[in-house]
């Protein structure tokens, strides 16, 4: 009898905390999605960053074309000393230009990123949403298997942007 009473007390002791944990989950966590890249691109600073990306692509493309031509010549017939020196100068220039544009693009985009993050935070807080995920990242990662319609808040957040 003592053994049965002891087992019953142990079972109740385990069941009480489990029941308390289940009750704590009554309020579901609200989740939504946004297309953060579209939001950044819609912001004036994001547009400026995209214009810089286009300039960078054009300038870097020209440098790569010249490097590719020299590489082809090096493989087929070899380079003269002047051409080899030009290749090294172009390679150093390419690396420098890529680095410069990366910094400029990041600096240009930062105000858009900050504004988008602030708008997302405000929309989440006003609507009681605990988690807002980037829709592309969620889709690419495979973490989200199913999402109901109506969870994309991109337009709501975009309305908050300057």
In-domain check, residue 97: yes
**What pLDDT shows up at residue 29?**
78
In-domain check, residue 15: no
In-domain check, residue 31: yes
Spatial separation of the C-alpha atoms in residues 139 and 45, rounded to whole Å:
26
In-domain check, residue 99: yes
In-domain check, residue 122: yes
Spatial separation of the C-alpha atoms in residues 85 and 123, rounded to whole Å:
56
Cross-strand bridge partners of residue 31: 131
pLDDT tens digits for 118-149?
A: 999 999 999 999 999 999 998 899 888 888 88
Domain that holds residue 120: 23-158
In-domain check, residue 149: yes
In-domain check, residue 153: yes
What domain count does the chain have? 1
CATH number at residue 89: 3.30.910
The pLDDT of residue 14 is above 80: no
pLDDT tens digits for 17-70?
A: 544 454 455 567 799 999 999 999 999 999 999 999 999 999 999 999 999 999
Contact 112, 49 (CB under 8 A): yes
DSSP string covering 78-117: ---HHHHHHHHHHHHHHHHHHHHHHHHHHHHHHHHHHHHH
Spatial separation of the C-alpha atoms in residues 67 and 59, rounded to whole Å:
13
**What pLDDT shows up at residue 34?**
97
**What pLDDT shows up at residue 97?**
97
pTM above 0.85, yes or no: no
In-domain check, residue 3: no
């Amino acid at each position: 009898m003592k053994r049965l009473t002891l087992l019953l007390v142990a079972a109740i002791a385990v069941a009480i905390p489990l029941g308390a944990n289940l009750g704590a989950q009554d309020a579901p966590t609200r989740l939504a999605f946004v297309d953060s890249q579209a939001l950044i691109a819609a912001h004036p600073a994001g547009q400026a960053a995209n214009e810089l990306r286009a300039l960078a692509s054009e300038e870097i493309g020209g440098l790569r074309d010249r490097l590719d031509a020299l590489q082809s010549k090096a493989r087929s017939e070899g380079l003269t000393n002047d051409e080899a020196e030009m290749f090294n100068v172009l390679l150093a220039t390419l690396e420098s230009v890529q680095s410069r544009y990366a910094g400029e693009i990041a600096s240009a985009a930062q105000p858009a990123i900050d504004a988008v993050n602030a708008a997302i935070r405000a929309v989440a807080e006003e609507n009681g949403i605990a988690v807002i995920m980037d829709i592309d990242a969620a889709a690419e990662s495979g973490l989200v298997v199913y999402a109901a319609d109506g969870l994309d808040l991109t337009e709501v957040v975009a309305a908050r942007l300057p």
